[in-house]
Amino acid sequence: MSLEITFLGTGSAFPSPARGASALVLRREGQCWLFDCGEGTQTQLMRSHLRAARITKIFITHLHGDHIFGLPGLLCTLSLQSSPDASKAPVDIYGPLGLRSFLGRSLELSHSQLLFPCTVHELVPTRDQCPAEEFRDFSGLDRGEALPQALPGRVLHLDPGEDSYLLLEDEQLVVRAFRLFHRVPSFGFVLEEKPRPGKLNVQKLKDLG
């Protein structure tokens, strides 16, 4: 399995002319997976050899602005570059609880509409992931309100046995999230490649005894 990582931004707090806010892309078999989407990520993508249209999954570590302020704009640009297609696979977005509300409100207040399917999978944090005075319970955000553009997706809880969150699994790899301690609940992501059995030429082995 071929994996390639491109750092689009490694700065914190705010972007600078020479250094973008947090964002990196993992390229895997023609797909691009984006990790964090700080302000200016679109511009950094244009300067790279990557194509934004190839992004199929987005992973957000936490809800500080230097990691998410570029996301609504990127999604709107992807929408402008696409045509309505109900059969198209959705762009999957993974991030902390509250991300769905942030995106839904951003799209609603900016009168934006996504022309491609998009799902937001929220990870429910535990209270020990940040200082007690900083923890906010976002489980009730937008409850009972019908947003014009509701974003579907799963709500994922910690698996105590694995001490992680199972995000996705296919024939080649497993992707999990694990808890980090930060000023707000934060998550890291692990891509684990599955064992690949080798191929043996049985006849050749027999010929060699």
Are the C-beta atoms of 117 and 84 separated by less than 8 Å? no
DSSP string for residues in 152-171: P--EE--BTTTTBEEEEE-S
Task: Supply the angle between the helices 71-80 and 99-109 in degrees, to the nearest 10.
Answer: 60
Judge whether 85 counts as a catalytic residue. no
| Residue 111 three-state SS | coil
Are the C-beta atoms of 91 and 142 separated by less than 8 Å? no
First to last CA, the chain: 33
Residues listed for the chain: 209
State which amino acid sits at residue 112: S
52: burial class by Cβ within 10 Å (0-12, 13-18, 19+)? middle
For residues 27 and 180, what is the distance between their CA atoms, to the nearest angstrom? 24
Choosing from 66, 85, 128, 163, the catalytic residue is 66
Structure tokens at 172: 């080649």
Active site residue ranges: 66
